Chains A and B, each alone.
Chain A
Amino acid sequence: MTGEGGIPTPEFSRGEPLVVLRDIHKSFGPVEVLHGVNLEVKSGEVHALAGENGAGKSTLIKILSGVYDDFSGEMVVGGRKRRFSHPIEAVRAGVATIHQELSLVPSMSVADNLFLGRETTGRFGFVEFESQEEEAARILDNLELEVSPHTLVEELPLSIQQQLEIGRALARDANVLVFDEPTSALNEHEAGILFNRISALRSEGRAIIYITHKMEEIYTLADRITVLRDGRLVGTALTHELAPRELVRWMVGRDVVAEDVTRQEYSDDPALEVLGLRVTHPELQGRFVVDDVSFTLRRGEILGLAGLQGSGISEVMHGVFGALGHRTSGEVRLCGEAFQICGPQKSAQRGLVLLTNDRKTLGLAPDLNVIHNASLANLSCYCNRFGWIRRGEEAEEVGRLTREFSLSAPSLEAPVSTLSGGNQQKVYLARWLLTEPRVLLLDEPTRGVDVAAKADVYSLMRSWVRRGMSILLITSEMEELLALCDRIMVMHRGKVVAEFTNETASKDAVLSASMGQIPAAKVP
């Protein structure tokens, strides 16, 4: 195998190949999306599959996991030539895929989920619950999860659900595990647990295909990297022989210039003052998920909010924005004026906006086109007093902003669901920028966004603070947090435990503070 431009692809000498894909072509209608891709994954290997959104990674994985069977080329799994016509065939052949969206049934118990689709039945077709539960307990034990087999899946945090998904794959004797951006909903601590799990799977001699947008994950986990671009194979390399800069060049096809990180001086005028913010727990009475949090965000400042899952950082944003209704209490001042928390509509009108961390379920209306999605929050500005929309003006304003955002969409009339993740995120950002906000609450603005679009989002954020907007930022990527923020506030179990300036912040300090170990740095 040789990569593009004569890049040699070294042999990886561990185990025998469990998956070999040769010269895979795949078309949707007249459009070919994979143009002769090769991939070889050996046992005892973590193989990273990298590439921008739309590079063809998902399509390739869907061929391997039996979603598509109309491809040309050769697929060898476990030494046999295969063509799966249904996902269940792939599972039976030992290929398990752990998707971004988990495939557990939330209202069923842990044990029922582990055996879903392959229930142990007795002579008359009755499910043998007892033996299932014993087996389930054994699987949970193996995974070192302290969870009862009777617990309903919906009561478990996402990270545990993901471990269960792995458990289910192992219960089916999967030898090839495909992870599709498994950390996109996990915090750093939970991701660490997942990495340990994956390392253990590797040492058991299983083959792991790992898809991610996060560079540091590739370099912590992967033995080899295969890069796709525009449906073509760029090359396969040993991880330690491919420098990060070179990897980005493989993925993007050009050098991505590191953005100038010179910081803009921010003024002392407060943009958002929060005093004694409390958010009650959704179920448990008398418990607070945000407990007496106070902070000041200044004009033109980017303030980072760091914390693990359950620390209450998302709830701070949702609470201040008014998305949590009566669960929130506390005093808020916006640009010096008193501000009553009373719902998203009022907040947006006053120039306080929230970009949620889940654009799919809490952000975009998938059936609406780009224009209609982008203008949704600011529609009243394009209406006369009878509610008649001035559509020319609307399209013009959205067009202006999407050009500024370098949005790439087939057309502004296309449903937003047909856009790639990065472009969907730009539409979501455009919706709020059209309202000309004063304070942006950004919860994971770069989640599920490819490298090039991420760089776009960073430079947009910098341009907004230069224009006098203020940003409260949550991100699970530590590098992003450290590079972008003027100050970083760390929360643990609903309380602010530490605050760092750009100079005093370091990866270790922020991480240990968010795990509850209060550092020597100043505590507010």
Chain B
Amino acid sequence: MNTEMHSKLAKGIATPISRALLALLLMVIIGCLFNADGSFFRWSIHRDMLRQVSVFGILACGMTVVIITAGIDLSVSSVLALGAVFFAWFTLPLGWPAMFAIPVVLAIGLGLGSVSGALVAHMRIQPFIVTLAMMVFARGFAKVVSGGQKVTNYVMQPDGSSQLVDHPPIYNLIDSRILGGNISVVTIIFAVCVLLTWVVLARLRLGRHIYAVGSNEEAARLSGVPVRRTLISAYAISGLLAAVAGICQAAQETHGDPETGMAYELDAIAMVVIGGTTLAGGKGSVVLTLIGVLTIGYLQKILSLNAAPEATRLMLTGAIIVCAVLFQRGRR
């Protein structure tokens, strides 16, 4: 290889997106090597992987937005659970049609996100603390709404008897597959979330303000950027997407479980960071996050295909997160 090609290659690897893609490619190659008697080459494996990461991926989209503002949102898992419980409660015991239930659940997610954002922006409390508090609060709220139990289709009647009601069709719709059974609906929802987040971050004024605030908040303020409104919007987007994830979760589990989604925020953060978005803020993109989501998805799929025991899986995942981030950072 001559030096010109060499430096070209080095330059190509230097961009975050090509490094993230390389990590993903490496993971796919490992999958091809440890293919579990050829099952890695079947589409159904990839389809299932995509379905399994979709809920995490939706959370990771919102997390990306918040992390670019140099913040963090620990509350996404609890907001997800709250969204799931409310959705199940509206549609099963209350019997609301989905077209009412969904907007209300989304509004609740948006509202809680805005509250976190307002506390960060106006009260100047650190995002870690604010969203930690919101994480605990929303989990409690979910337990209050559900009475501490799963909200199922086994509904208590006014006369005290219980009765099974049918799930509204929305549950089946979200949990089904389309395009000849080749792709799950939740994966489509995830893809739409990625696209919308990309539009916000890369094409809208709000996105530009999000990057500016994350890179240098004081400079952004002195340039006339509405810093508070920007911060509130970022956390609101994260809350909204957590509610979307909650609806998907409820549909897949066919009930609203106040205990669902425990520690999902950690997976979401890991996916964002593996993609190459740094916690320092001002840098990154949702495309990187998408690559990060797929990298972790393939890692876990490969481990489960090869019947790696749970303990090994956890240890390997931890080690690979560190390796991926070191690789992302590149040579300094």
Contacts and interface: CB of A to CB of B under 8 A. Distances in A.
Contacts of A387: 204-206
Given A361-B216, A367-B215, 16 more contacts: A30-B7, A344-B224, A345-B225, A345-B226, A363-B219, A364-B219, A365-B220, A367-B283, A368-B215, A372-B211, A376-B223, A376-B225, A379-B208, A388-B203, A388-B205, A389-B205
Contacts of A321: 222
A215 interface: no
Contacts of A30: 3, 7
User: How many residues of A sit at the interface, in one of the four size bands?
Assistant: 20 to 34
Interface in A340-373: 344-345, 347-349, 354, 356, 361-368, 372
Contacts of A356: 222
Nearest to A431: B223
A323 interface: yes
Contacts, number: 77
A27 to B, nearest CB: 13
Nearest to A363: B219
A1 interface: no
B218 interface: yes
Contacts of B222: 321, 323, 344, 354, 356, 362-363
B122 interface: no
B212 interface: yes
Interface string B189-217: 00000000000000111101101101110
A344 B219 CA distance: 11
Contacts of A344: 221-224
A523 interface: no
B11 to A, nearest CB: 10
Interface of B: 3, 7, 10, 203-206, 208-209, 211-212, 214-216, 218-226, 282-283
B126 to A, nearest CB: 17
A365 B211 contact: yes
A339 B281 CA distance: 35
Nearest to A356: B222
Contact of B224 (A348, A366, A389): A348
Interface of A: 29-30, 321, 323, 344-345, 347-349, 354, 356, 361-368, 372, 376-377, 379-380, 383, 386-389, 391, 431
A368 B218 contact: no
B208 A389 contact: yes
Given A344-B222, A377-B223, A364 B216 contact: yes
B64 to A, nearest CB: 15
A349 B208 contact: no
A388 B212 contact: no
Contacts of B220: 365, 376
Contact of A366 (B10, B204, B215): B215
A424 B225 CA distance: 19
Contacts of B216: 361, 364-366
A492 B10 CA distance: 56
Contacts of A362: 218-219, 222
B211 A383 contact: no
* 10 nearest A-B pairs in the assembled complex, by CB-CB distance: A365-B215, A367-B282, A345-B224, A348-B224, A367-B215, A387-B205, A365-B216, A377-B223, A387-B204, A365-B212
Contacts of A323: 221-222
A388 B208 contact: no
A59 B223 CA distance: 33
Given A368-B282, A376-B212, A389 B223 contact: no
23 contacts: A323-B222, A344-B222, A345-B225, A345-B226, A365-B215, A365-B216, A365-B220, A366-B215, A367-B215, A367-B283, A368-B212, A368-B215, A376-B212, A376-B223, A377-B223, A377-B224, A380-B205, A383-B205, A387-B204, A387-B206, A389-B203, A389-B204, A389-B208
A354 B222 CA distance: 8
A140 B42 CA distance: 75
